[in-house]
Amino acid sequence: MPPIEDHPLRYELANELHARPFPSLSAPCTAAYLAIKQPHDAAKRDRAADLAHLTALLDRYGASHPQPGATHYSGQIGRHVLKWESHTEFVTYTVFTEGVSTRPFDPADFEVFPTDWLARSPGMRVTSALIRVTPWENKDRTREDTDQWFVSESVAVARVLDDAAVIVGDFRIDTAGHLRFSVNVAPGTGARRIGRIVQRLCEIETYKSMSMLGFARVREMGRQMGETDSQLSRLIGDMTGGAQPAEDTLQDLLRVSAELESLVAQSSFRFGATAAYEQIVNQRISVLREDRFEGRQTFAEFMMRRYEPAMRTVRATKERLDAMADRAMRAGELLRTRVDVERSAQNQALLESMDKRADLQLRLQRTVEGLSVVAISYYAVSLAGYLLYPLTGVLGLSKGMITAAVTLPVVGFVWWMVQRIRKKLH
């Protein structure tokens, strides 16, 4: 019996689950993170340009190249370890370096990415971050570092993964253009667990930034949606009042509906992506299993206060846009029904007028038929008179008497012939 045949994608799909493992890190270490996105139509971008840009960086360090069409890469570049990933709309670079700089969050740590290489990037920076991973010392040292390195008004601090580490961040861009995160690792925390914490911090920041693009899109749409909503309300009011002809209102309503459909088409991808990114942010924070550190706000609380309102605005705008489109559609259907009813009434009136015209034409036709009987009879009597005049002497009658005698028979005969012809035509 031959062995069972495998689905052609079986191994590819199974290997995809293991294609992007968490990095293994030990404290102390530093992570420099960069996310790049094309400004427009990023989902349709030329991914070969992303691979070419990665290859240019690898060539700087004499490192091996990724496989053709690869969507992820991990390898040594000099004394650093590079992790590269290609996503639907963006690519990410994470460089891990053993040890930490003397100056906390030193911009020099980001110089692993050459300046001229950054300038030739096939996209724009969505976010970049420096993550400082150090061993846990004590609460006082963590409190001191937090107050010194981060903005106290927005800082978030939490114990994560059952006290495996204390993470700190304020989601603010420093003077060098990077965000800062600090990870204080408890003794005995494994290298893979440290890697998971760092990876999740990078993902939280990236997907938070990507989802905020939806909020930026909503702000751009606000004025146009307000104007369109006012026009739609005015047109619906015109429908109720009947101040404007229904067909004119229908044309204006179709124009507004087209504008709304254009807005829906232009924003549907961004709204969908924003919802997906928001879910990832919340899920990544949830799996960290946060516990409060000395009464400070956690990352979840920070997101609830600073991030969630923006996402609610995006959701509300999407619902408002969908509601406007539905309202325009219903108004259009009602107005089309009204126009159809008015046209049916006009057609009915036209048919009635046509019936009246047909009746008048029939009456006129019968009148003409009657006159034609008289005219034909007149000429027929005249001809019969000329035919019978020679018999006046034989019959002893005058011409007038003969003419009078043949008049009634001729008229009757002509009338009978006209009626016969009309019956044959009908």
Residues 395-414 pLDDT 10s: 666 767 777 777 777 777 77
Burial class (CB in 10 A: 0-12, 13-18, 19+), 264: middle
Q: What is the pLDDT of residue 82?
A: 96
3-state secondary structure of 77: strand
Lowest mean pLDDT, pick from 108-117, 153-162, 318-327: 318-327
Domain boundaries, the chain: 16-190, 212-349, 364-423
The sheet that has 179-185: what strands, in order across it?
72-77, 80-86, 90-98, 29-37, 124-135, 179-185, 165-169, 156-160, 291-292
Residues 20-48 pLDDT 10s: 778 999 999 999 999 999 998 899 999 99
3-state secondary structure of 11: helix
Which candidate, 89, 88, 108, places its Cα nearest to that of 32?
108
Burial class (CB in 10 A: 0-12, 13-18, 19+), 397: middle
Average pLDDT for 304-319? 95
Please give the C-alpha separations between residue 407 and each of 383, 415, 420, in angstroms, as whole numbers. Answer: 11, 12, 20
Residues 190-216 pLDDT 10s: 999 999 999 999 999 999 999 999 999
d(CA 32, CA 287): 23
d(CA 56, CA 96): 19
Share of the chain above pLDDT 90, in %: 55
d(CA 183, CA 167): 5
Q: What is the pLDDT of residue 193?
A: 95
Lowest mean pLDDT, pick from 90-104, 118-132, 248-262: 248-262
Specify the DSSP element, H or E, that contains 122.
Answer: none
> Which of the 8 DSSP states describes residue 105?
T
